[in-house]
A = this chain, B = another copy of it.
Amino acid sequence: MERVICVISYDGTQFSGYQVQPNGRTVQEDVENALQKMHKGKFIRITASGRTDAGVHAKGQVIHFDSPLVIPEENWKKALQTLLPKDIRIVDVQKTTEDFHARYGTKRKEYRYRILNSVDPDVFKRNYTFHVPDKLDLQAMNEACTYFEGTHDFTSFSSAKSDVKGDKVRTIYEAYCYVDGDEIIFSVTGNGFLYNMVRILVGTLLEVGKGRKTPATIQEIFEMNDRSQAGKTAPPQGLYLWDVDYNEKQRSQV
């Protein structure tokens, strides 16, 4: 058996999310179906770095699987791409060893969130950005970002419905906003993220950008450990799982 790493990019618009579920199209199911065809009907389980919700996109999701086939990396890429729908793209395929694990080996993940900050909505970006027509204070948003950085209990910034057991302490290595044309992009890199966390960070940043909260309020929200103190959960279509990094030994492989 060979362990294979795939970096995949997908447009989440037409998916009910990454993970297989009884109803609706999922990324996992489409990739597993493609692999099953390549393996003459044999089911091949894939493991991803993590799930993404319905409508959320991925620029660099990482998955691994084990296969009895012996195929050069470039041919894996071509064969899989041919069997996949157009909204999933194989970015890269690399062979690895069995100590690589796409989920448990993650070291850093970067998410980005695209805010379309224009007066009028854009029909071509409706599935790829969150349209916010209000004037936004980029400097205040970036000041707020500095409060996200570091190691904190993110209880206030995760879904109250979250079924995560254990602590909600996570480390954010870097968080910032930048302008790209008529968009404001939020980038956040951390060692892990709770359910809905990035979308709640964005919802809170927007409160700051609109002048309804000061950047320093972020500190108070952390201290209250209360989801209702943070901003609304921003909608899924602006969110992208951008990049996944693995530990030193494995990083060179992805």
Contacts and interface: CB of A to CB of B under 8 A. Distances in A.
Contacts of A57: 124
A153 interface: no
A126 B128 CA distance: 13
Question: Interface size class for chain A?
Answer: 10 to 19
Interface in A82-119: 86-89, 91
- In this complex, which of A89, A124, A128 has the most chain B Cβ atoms within 10 angstroms of its Cβ? A124
Contacts of A121: 89
Interface of A: 9-11, 57, 86-89, 91, 120-121, 123-124, 126, 128
Contact of A120 (B91, B120, B126, B128): B91
Total copies of this chain within the assembly: 2
Contacts of A11: 123-124, 126
Nearest to A180: B181
Contacts of A126: 11, 86-87
Contacts of A91: 120
A201 to B, nearest CB: 22
A89 B128 contact: no
Nearest to A88: B123
Given A88-B123, A89-B123, 13 more contacts: A9-B123, A10-B123, A11-B123, A11-B124, A11-B126, A57-B124, A86-B123, A86-B126, A87-B123, A87-B126, A89-B121, A91-B120, A124-B128
